[in-house]
Amino acid sequence: MRYPRHISDPVNPKQVGHYQTGHDGTHRNYYAGGKYMHLAAGMKGYRGNIYVIVDISDPAKPVEVGRWWVPGQKEGETPAPPQATSLHGPPEVVGNTVFLSYGGAGMVIVDIADVAKPKFVGRLSFSPPYIPFIGVHTIQPVPGKNIAVVNSEAIRENCNEPANHASVVDISNLARPRLVSTFPTPLPPAEAPYKSFCEKGGRFGPHNQNQLQHNPFVKKQDHLIYLTYFNAGLRIYDISASTAPREVGYYMPPDPQKRRGVLPKGLAVSSEDVLVDSRGNIFVTDKNLGLYVLRYTGE
């Protein structure tokens, strides 16, 4: 479900419309103003989330205008889609192109010049060898660079799953996206009592990047990539050389001493979301520790 709201009074937002998927709602969505919402939606008759475009010209009456899915997702279609095919979202819209983080189906690129008839353009699979379940969690195109940063999401604790990835993809040819590099795996500090973050407890692997790039108050994507890494905290990478990403900073909060959430099972740091505002303030959330506000000095 999706609820357009009126926020002229930000303390008392009012619902003005309601779009129903008819199934299990939406996950991460994209709206940069204008007529259309771009949804990762669970729709009746489909396996996993699909891509849905909704017209909110009249916010009180949202209307679906287009949808796209990986062949095999619709009930009755054969063959079945790749394992764990589901649109995680948010769809990342750049002009008439949308980049879809499609889980086990990988990175999918679709043309939406005609929103009523989205057209497949290209796909890059990551699974195998990487984890199929949320094998592509986030896609962040880098303006003016013909590259995108793509990552999976770590799911099981103690690394009890196939490897995760954070990667740089060449998108100069949208029909043939190609992997050009992967990010180095974070290493524990020398003084840590464990040799690998897999031994620390909790989840270890990538999760979220600094998205919401359409928001004028969010730092625009450049050569620095901010990426939460669950029990490894926040990691910062320099992709000036797209074929050789390097880690240039990190912040690891102390492990929590008190449980405020049911996960992770191991009481360890669990850095989840990151947002960097236009002033350079870095906001990082943690399941048990709350909100941290940081700044990157480059030192």
- Cβ-based burial of 138 (10 A; exposed 0-12, middle 13-18, buried ≥19): buried
What are the residues whose beta carbons fall under 8 Å from the beta carbon of 160, sequence distance 6 or more?
none
CA distance 160 to 172: 35
**102 and 141 assigned to the same domain:** no
6 found inside a domain: no
Q: Which of 32, 43, 36, 31 is nearest to 69 (CA)?
A: 43
CA distance 253 to 256: 8
CA distance 268 to 147: 33
What are the tens digits of pLDDT across the range 111-141? 999 999 999 999 999 999 999 999 999 999 9
1 found inside a domain: no
**29 and 64 assigned to the same domain:** yes
**216 and 242 assigned to the same domain:** yes
4 found inside a domain: no
**116 and 150 assigned to the same domain:** no
What is the domain-level CATH number for residue 286?
A: 2.130.10.10
**100 and 160 assigned to the same domain:** no
7 found inside a domain: no
What is the count of structural domains for the chain? 2
**193 and 224 assigned to the same domain:** yes
CA distance 223 to 220: 10
pLDDT at 241: 98
61 found inside a domain: yes
**176 and 234 assigned to the same domain:** yes
9 found inside a domain: no
CA distance 85 to 160: 20
Q: Which of 55, 237, 66 is nearest to 142 (CA)?
A: 237
Domain with 178, as residue range(s), is 137-298
**62 and 208 assigned to the same domain:** no
3-state secondary structure at position 107: strand
Q: Which residues pair with 64 in a beta bridge?
A: 54
Residue-level pLDDT, tens digit, the chain, 299 residues: 556 667 788 888 889 899 999 898 999 999 999 999 999 999 999 999 999 999 999 999 999 999 999 999 999 999 999 999 999 999 999 999 999 999 999 999 999 999 999 999 999 999 999 999 999 999 999 999 999 999 999 999 999 999 999 999 999 999 999 999 999 999 999 999 999 999 999 999 999 999 999 999 999 999 999 999 999 999 999 999 999 999 999 999 999 999 998 899 989 999 999 999 999 999 999 999 999 999 999 86
Helix count and strand count (H, E) for the chain: 0, 20
pTM for the complete prediction?
0.95
pLDDT at 2: 56
CA distance 142 to 213: 10
Alpha helices, DSSP H, located in the chain: none
158 CB neighbour count, 10 Å cutoff: 17
